Structure 1
Amino acid sequence: MIGQAPVAALRQMTGFDLAAVLDIERATFPADAWTEGMLRGELADQPRTRHYLVAEVDSRIVGYAGLAIAADQADVQTIAVYAEHRRSGIGSQLLTALLAEAARRGATKIFLEVRADNPPAQTMYANFGFEPYGVRRGYYDDGTDAITMMRELDG
């Protein structure tokens, strides 16, 4: 995103955003979408151990992302963007914001899981310096494996 104008306006997610976020969640992850209760639970820990953002284009929420932070470790909980807005830089914009927040809070490592059947997401994470370090067999509800990835953060 260096030298590029932001694609979307980012702001902190609130409970008022849940209907729009759930629509994106269900469209993006139909086999294992998070429930409203799960998302409310994540927001309940914001800002103590969570950081959730929404991405808006023309005042419409088109993506969201979440981060969990504990001590010097952070975990990307989720990143999702409507299909028609993918490959526009919104996912990268959201990930950049999560990395900045993790560093701001003192994290030295950031982890994530990505579906083994999602090469575009794997490529995006690799482009941000994430490296695969393992596989969680059958991690997702539909039996798909998760590739675990990690990146060191500049201290």
Structure 2
Amino acid sequence: MGQEIKIRLMRKEDCEAVRKIECACFSIPWSLESIEEVLQYETHQFLVAEVNDEVVGYMGMIKTIDEADVTNVAVLPHMRKKGIGELLVRESLKRAKEEQVNTVFLEVRESNAGAIHLYEKFHFIPISMRKNYYKDPLENAVIMSANLSTIK
């Protein structure tokens, strides 16, 4: 790729850029207010990926004692296939493990083979299905989990 990718905690000034990523990646994006709100909670860990000082991706996770739920993983369409998503997932899981999180859960569209493949690299396994979970278009969600003790 030739460009340095920096992963860091999301700050308030990143919220507009994260909103643009949401709009580019999801049919029902989070509002700016919802994005700003996540910064208020210690249990919420949101990381951004920067390339040339531009926020090009982000990942959110909510921790509850020794478990965490991934809220979103998104990378701008023109920046995909460059390892950004993998770096975000790796750093998020590393931080979660450091905070004594044992298990991480997530939902992913059944048709999102690229994301499922990414999660499988980090030992996520399918554990269940939520019928018609996603809207616009209507689609099932695959629920996946990873035991962080198996991740290096």
| Cα distance in 1, alignment partners of residues 59 and 39 from structure 2 | 12
**Which of 14, 37, 52 does residue 58 from structure 1 map onto?**
52
TM-score, length of structure 1 as denominator length = 0.90
For residues 3-152 of structure 1, the aligned pairs below 5 Å read: 7-29=4-26, 31-45=27-41, 48-142=42-136, 143-152=138-147
* AA partner of residue 23 (structure 1): K
| Cα distance in 1, alignment partners of residues 84 and 131 from structure 2 | 29
CA contact (8 A) 1:55 1:62 kept: yes
Percent identical residues: 35
Who is 1:154 aligned against?
149
Which is strand-richer, 1 or 2?
2
**What is the deviation of 1:38?**
1.5
**What is the deviation of 1:112?**
0.5
| Cα distance in 2, alignment partners of residues 134 and 7 from structure 1 | 37
CA contact (8 A) 1:7 1:88 kept: no
CA RMSD after TM alignment:
1.6
| Cα distance in 2, alignment partners of residues 121 and 150 from structure 1 | 14
SS at match of 1:32: coil
* AA partner of residue 146 (structure 1): A
- Which runs of 5 or more structure 2 residues have no equivalent in the other structure? none
* AA partner of residue 11 (structure 2): T
- Which runs of 5 or more structure 1 residues have no equivalent in the other structure? none
The count of residues paired between Structure 1 and Structure 2 equals 148
SS at match of 1:138: strand
CA contact (8 A) 1:134 1:147 kept: yes
TM-score, length of structure 2 as denominator length = 0.92
Go from structure 1 to structure 2 and tell me whether the alpha carbon gap of 1:6 and 1:130 turns closer, same or farther (over 3 Å shift). farther
**Mean CA deviation greater in 137-146 or 91-100:** 137-146
* AA partner of residue 74 (structure 2): A
Runs of 4 or more above 3 Å deviation? none
Go from structure 1 to structure 2 and tell me whether the alpha carbon gap of 1:70 and 1:16 turns closer, same or farther (over 3 Å shift). same
